[in-house]
């Protein structure tokens, strides 16, 4: 893509975690209990970048912060699913994903605050 969206840090991280999730779900799919976690991770991790993309595509009006909030919620949900995968995924993998998700959440929170402060003035 040749788009400014690729320059947004939390979007780049969301695409990184999407790619990492692929190998994580391959491991989870080996266990019948892990299959449900894998399905949920595909949905929640995919929703992070999808909502950033949709909000960005709609422009920088009042809708964009709302899409970032939805994306942030999906990041938090993904954290929960990674925590639930502790019986099947290595602790280093889980910690790495949680750290990345925490970074996305913090960056999105700051972006929401910045965007909303600009629309109030």
CATH code for the domain in which residue 75 is found: 1.20.1440.60
Angle at 42 between CA 95 and CA 66, to 5 degrees: 90
What local confidence, expressed as pLDDT, does residue 62 receive? Answer: 83
What local confidence, expressed as pLDDT, does residue 29 receive? Answer: 98
Give me the domain span that covers residue 8: 4-120
Give the number of other CB atoms < 10 A from CB of residue 53.
18
The distance in angstroms from the start CA to the end CA of the chain is: 33
**For the whole model, what pTM was predicted?**
0.92
Give the separation between CA 115 and CA 62, rounded to whole angstroms. 8
Name the nearest CA neighbour of 46 among 14, 79, 84: 14
For residue 1, pLDDT over 50 is answered with no
- Domain count of the chain? 1
Residue 67 has which token pair? 């899409």
């Amino acid at each position: 893509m040749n788009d400014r969206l690729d320059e947004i840090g939390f979007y780049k991280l969301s695409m990184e975690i999407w790619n990492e999730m692929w190998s994580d779900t391959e491991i989870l799919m080996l266990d019948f209990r892990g299959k449900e976690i894998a399905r949920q991770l595909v949905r929640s991790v995919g929703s992070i970048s999808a909502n950033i993309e949709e909000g960005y595509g709609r422009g920088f009006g009042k809708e964009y912060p709302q899409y970032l909030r939805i994306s942030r919620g999906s990041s938090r949900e993904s954290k929960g699913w990674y925590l639930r995968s502790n019986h099947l995924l290595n602790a280093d993998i889980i910690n790495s994903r949680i750290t990345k998700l925490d970074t996305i959440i913090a960056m999105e929170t700051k972006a929401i605050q910045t965007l909303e402060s600009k629309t109030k003035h």
